[in-house]
Homo-oligomer: A and B are copies of this chain.
Amino acid sequence: MREIFFLSDFGLADPYAAVVKAVMRQIAVGVVIHDLAHNLPPGDLHRASYILYESVPYLPKHSVVLAVVDPGVGSSRRAILVVGERLCYVAPDNGLLTLAYLQDPPRKAYQLENPAYHLPRKSTTFHGRDVFGPVAAYLAAGVEPHRFGPELPVSALTRLPIHLHFGNQGEILTFDRFGNAITTLLATPGQLRGKTVRIRYHRIPVATHYAEVPVGAALAYIGSAGLLEVAVHLGNAREQLGLKQGDRVDLLPYS
């Protein structure tokens, strides 16, 4: 049986994540379910997409990723199953898989319209329990992807307007719990040589690790996913530099 990796914004102060897992275990007895993250800000699709970008390369081949950040639950947004090169994904088609597609290109996609694989009584607000969880469990148990509903061209999948690229101008994609800003700029050490980073009115030096700058000072560095990040040494860049998602980021010659 395939393993399931579960991402949601359900938090750990409510029963929702536990209920989805209990439903999956009753459908796919013995299935192993791992938590990816549950405590991201409610409805934050950028954060969800970044979490998948960072973790997908480390998940074992053939795993099922269940991703439920679903502010449009009950509306006409599609529910989808995406078969990638390495993994399968079950999620609302609201763009939260955008960066997963970069790590693991989609091969096939299906709409989850076959009610035989949903819970019999479907709520309008908790499709994690009633649709996505059951589909992930049946998929883990061996049901073939085309059984869940009609095929959808992968070109029709919803993508967020996030452009990860090598270059000199990007923006802040999201933040992590430490308040580090993750940007849309891919970077290599060679490319950063002799450069400085500008965000708002801040000029931020490039470094290789936190301790290279004094405590309380800002630095830019290549983060663990290969993206340029901005942090404050033993501090919180988001709060201390007043940064916001979408802020423009420029790589400038150091002078």
A→B interface (CB under 8 Å):
5, 10-19, 21-23, 25-26, 34-43, 47, 50-52, 54-55, 58-60, 71-76, 123-126, 129-130, 176-178, 208-212, 221-224, 229, 234, 236
Chain B residues within 8 Å of A223, by CB: 123, 125-126
Chain B nearest CB, measured from A106 CB (Å): 20
A54 CB contact (under 8 Å) in B15, B35, B41, B221: B15
- How many copies of this protein are present in the complex? 3
Chain B residues within 8 Å of A40, by CB: 13-14
Chain B residues within 8 Å of A16, by CB: 54, 176
> Given A19-B55, A22-B55, A177-B14, A123–B224 Cβ distance below 8 Å?
yes
Give Cα distance in the complex from A104 to B221, angstroms.
Answer: 38
- Asked if A72 contacts B125 (CB within 8 A), the reply is no
A43 CB contact (under 8 Å) in B5, B22, B234: B234
Chain B nearest CB, measured from A5 CB (Å): 7
Residue of B nearest to A130 (CB): B224
- Asked if B43 contacts A13 (CB within 8 A), the reply is no
User: What are some 22 contacts across the A-B interface (CB < 8 A)?
Assistant: A10-B177, A12-B12, A12-B35, A12-B38, A13-B176, A14-B40, A14-B177, A15-B37, A15-B50, A15-B52, A18-B34, A18-B36, A19-B58, A43-B234, A71-B210, A72-B211, A73-B209, A74-B209, A75-B210, A123-B223, A125-B210, A125-B221
